[in-house]
Amino acid sequence: MGCLISDSWVVVVLLLPVFWVFYKVWMMMMRRDEVERNGGGFAVPRGSWGWPLIGETLEFIACGYTSKPVSFMDRRKSLYGNVFRTHILGKAIVVSTDAEVNRMILQNHGNAFIPCYPKSITELLGKSSILQMNGSLHKRVHALIGVFLKSPQFKARITRDIENVIRVSLSNWMNKSCQVYVQDETKKITFEILVQVLLSVGPGEEMNFLKREFEEFIKGLICLPIKFPGTRLYKSLKAKERLLKMVNKIIKERKNAMQKTEENGPPNDAIDVLLRDTGYSDEMQQRRLPLDFISGNIIEMMIPGEETVPTAMTLAVKFLIDNPVALAHLVDENMELKNRKTRHVKNILGQITCLCHLLKIRSFTTSAHHTFSGYLIPKGWCVLASFSSIHMDEMNYENPYEFDPWRWKKVGAAVSSNLFTPFGGGQRLCPGLELSRLEISIFLHHLVTTYRWAAEKDEIIYFPTVRMKRKLPITIMPLQQ
């Protein structure tokens, strides 16, 4: 036994110089860019590269599992300043926790910043996905979808659809022995609305197929980027192929129907919007968007909408459980509004949507050396605008981790738009902003005016995405009307 221990020590001692050389080479490689200065005296942000190869990934992930996931950013911010460099998930990254710098990144003048994702996501998204594109085509698709989702005709129609889906779902809760998992139920509700908005598919076989395959598809968004039969990424790519086949079929049928009828009323869904657009210019020719471009984008637009809205709804229920005063206030307000058929849950929404995007995975990469606010970002480095750090900074919000739906009343117009960006901003402002608010408001309105509930203990998990550990089980009791 003693011999075994002393042998292990010999191995460790012999390997030490190898590790040391490896470490030095790594540091030299990483410093190559760091020492660069341009004539204007701009400097690469300060920071640490962490360990060879893994960089600071382990600490980043460990912080994600705590109740304060932005502590990774906070620690570095106090050491190196509001903008610092690090090395996580295999990439050299400049992280900005500065509201003004974040605004400049989002505005992206001159298209200097190109969206950049972990490798598994890049593999799964098409090259011409709205989430990955840059430049004029991105602007066009973003504007088309944004204008459609904001239009009064769409909002009037979708409000009725959302009301129906939520009413039916809530009434079905009584058949589930009165015990429901809020996280699962809100996912079902919002998926139904999402596919209605994007491709007008209602409940039935087609919707079940889309749900099943989409779930398989998104499992691969955060996985090892290894692609051969049996791996997670491979299975997700296959699921995407099946989704594309079905969406292509729907689009072709729609196109045929469009050619037969002269009717040109307001578009019904995102397919109509993209099919009718004639402003796509290719080799100086104005023509319609290609069909495979449309089908890819319809699927990819499901990604940002699929998890955020149910997470916001679930967190709303969780925060209301933990804050009976806020719940009583919301019930009174909504009971009163029930007859007037309007809803007002703005104060709560602000805080929830803020939490929803605590961990963003999209960053940007620079297309050339780039200088701003006194910093130099070398070509090819990633830049992450950390909105969560701004939302969770005590300098910006009092007790940021406390659920306080009245905070918006207290701070009022004093909150600068740079300090509150739950839906992103600039060229990448979420086009689903108003739709999400509508969905969450209608859900909360019907929930608090239909049921009372008792909740079991549960806690929020922040990594890799925000969710409830036990899916938030509640026992519901119908209100006597």
Annotated binding residues, written as ranges, equal 430
The nearer residue to ligand HEM, 2 or 110, going by C-beta atoms, is: 110
Say how many C-beta atoms besides its own lie within 10 A of residue 285's C-beta. 7
Say how many C-beta atoms besides its own lie within 10 A of residue 101's C-beta. 21
The nearer residue to ligand HEM, 103 or 142, going by C-beta atoms, is: 142
CA dihedral 159, 161, 167, 170 (to 10 degrees): -100
SS (H, E, C) 323-357: CHHHHHHHHHHHHHHHHHCCCCCHHHHHHHHHHHC
Within 6-25, the residues that bind ligand HEM by CB under 6 A are none
Within 107-146, the residues that bind ligand HEM by CB under 6 A are 130-131, 142
157 binds ligand HEM, rule: CB under 6 A: no
Longest Cα separation, the chain = 89
Q: What are phi and psi of 476, to 5 degrees?
A: -105, 150
Task: Give dist(CA 117, CA 129) in Å, integer.
Answer: 12
47 binds ligand HEM, rule: CB under 6 A: no
Q: How far is the CB of 10 from ligand HEM (least distance, A)?
A: 51
**Strand extents, DSSP E, 242-323:** 280-282, 285-287
308 binds ligand HEM, rule: CB under 6 A: yes
The nearer residue to ligand HEM, 73 or 312, going by C-beta atoms, is: 312
220 binds ligand HEM, rule: CB under 6 A: no
Task: Give dist(CA 429, CA 149) in Å, integer.
Answer: 13
Q: What long-range pairs does 248-252 form, CB within 8 A, spacing at least 24?
A: 248/291, 248/292, 248/295, 250/199, 250/201, 251/275, 251/291, 251/294, 251/295, 251/298, 252/291
Q: How far is the CB of 472 from ligand HEM (least distance, A)?
A: 17
432 binds ligand HEM, rule: CB under 6 A: yes
**327 contacts 447 by C-beta, under 8 angstroms:** no
435 binds ligand HEM, rule: CB under 6 A: yes
430 binds ligand HEM, rule: CB under 6 A: yes
312 binds ligand HEM, rule: CB under 6 A: yes
The nearer residue to ligand HEM, 44 or 89, going by C-beta atoms, is: 89
Task: Give dist(CA 50, CA 151) in Å, integer.
Answer: 49
Nearest 5 degrees, angle CA 233-CA 245-CA 222?
20
441 binds ligand HEM, rule: CB under 6 A: no
Q: How far is the CB of 273 from ligand HEM (least distance, A)?
A: 12
> Which range, of 258-266, 327-335, 393-401, 432-440, touches ligand HEM by CB under 6 A?
432-440
Task: Give dist(CA 401, CA 248) in Å, integer.
Answer: 45
357 binds ligand HEM, rule: CB under 6 A: yes
Binding-site residues for heme sit at: 430
Candidate list 69, 220, 296, 304; residue touching ligand HEM; CB under 6 A:
304
267 binds ligand HEM, rule: CB under 6 A: no
294 binds ligand HEM, rule: CB under 6 A: no
The nearer residue to ligand HEM, 375 or 443, going by C-beta atoms, is: 443
Partners of residue 285 on adjacent β-strands: 282
Q: How far is the CB of 161 from ligand HEM (least distance, A)?
A: 13
**Residues that contact ligand HEM, how many (by CB under 6 A):** 24
> Which range, of 4-12, 88-96, 176-184, 300-308, touches ligand HEM by CB under 6 A?
300-308
Helix (H) or strand (E) holding 437: helix 433-450
Q: How far is residue 11 CA from its own chain's centroid?
A: 46
Residues that bind ligand HEM (CB under 6 A): 130-131, 142, 197, 301, 304-305, 308-309, 312, 353, 356-357, 360, 362, 422-424, 428, 430-432, 435-436
